[in-house]
Amino acid sequence: MASNENSDIATSSYAEVIKSTKGKIKINIDGFLYVKDKNRDDLYYWVCERKSQKETKCTARATTICIGDQHKIHKFYAQQHNHAPQASKPEVLKACMQMKELGQISNDQPARIINNIIATTSRDIQPCLPGKDAARQQIKRARRVCEEEVEPKTLDDFKLPDAYCTTLSGMHFAKDITDGTQRILLFTTSENLKWLQEAKFWIMDGTFKTVP
């Protein structure tokens, strides 16, 4: 059982939001990583990422209140965990995500991308990073996915990638609306709509050369 004298008090009132290499959202609270279970409006429920691991099966939970793109810690008990926190894990996750993103947008060789990430990572974290062969495969896989994506020829062929359907905090961001042959994509959050509802006036703009 992980020990913490102030088990219900995190060192920060906000959880760190981290995107995994698979595009999923995780939060880090004092070295413990959580994955989203569900949410009810702005209240988010999280479970320890080790819940599905046979060796651990950690059942620890946490709840946060989503404020904009941040998650304010509502409930967190370190003593619920049956393992110690890993301060290096969130940093390793962020470094791997950087490698993947650079692999998608940069023409640099994988070896150069890996060396640049290692150079900007603290010495304490470097030994925890994936081996160069594994990192190289991650970069190549990310590039392959980008190359396989074909530009749609019609509006019906267009499929919005999951990565663009949620914000960094995990809030739904995209709404795909169809009406007969008409299709509209809206990008906003429920909170933004609340702000619009409360606003005294709206300012609108458009690129009229491209508007149907």
What mean pLDDT is predicted for residues 4-21?
68
Q: What is the set of domains in the chain, with CATH numbers? A: 14-80 (2.20.25.240), 88-148 (no CATH)
pLDDT value for 212: 58
7 and 79 Cβ atoms separated by less than 8 Å: yes
Bigger pLDDT: 2 or 89?
89
The runs of H, that is alpha helices, within the chain are 88-105, 110-119, 132-148, 190-198
The structure's pTM equals 0.56
Is the pLDDT confidence value at 3 over 50?
no
69 and 54 Cβ atoms separated by less than 8 Å: no
Tens of pLDDT, residue by residue over 43-58, are 999 999 999 887 878 9
Which of 73, 69, 70, 21 lies closest to 46 in space, CA to CA?
Answer: 73
Q: What is the DSSP string of 22-53?
A: TS-EEEEETTEEEEEEEEETTEEEEEEGGGG-
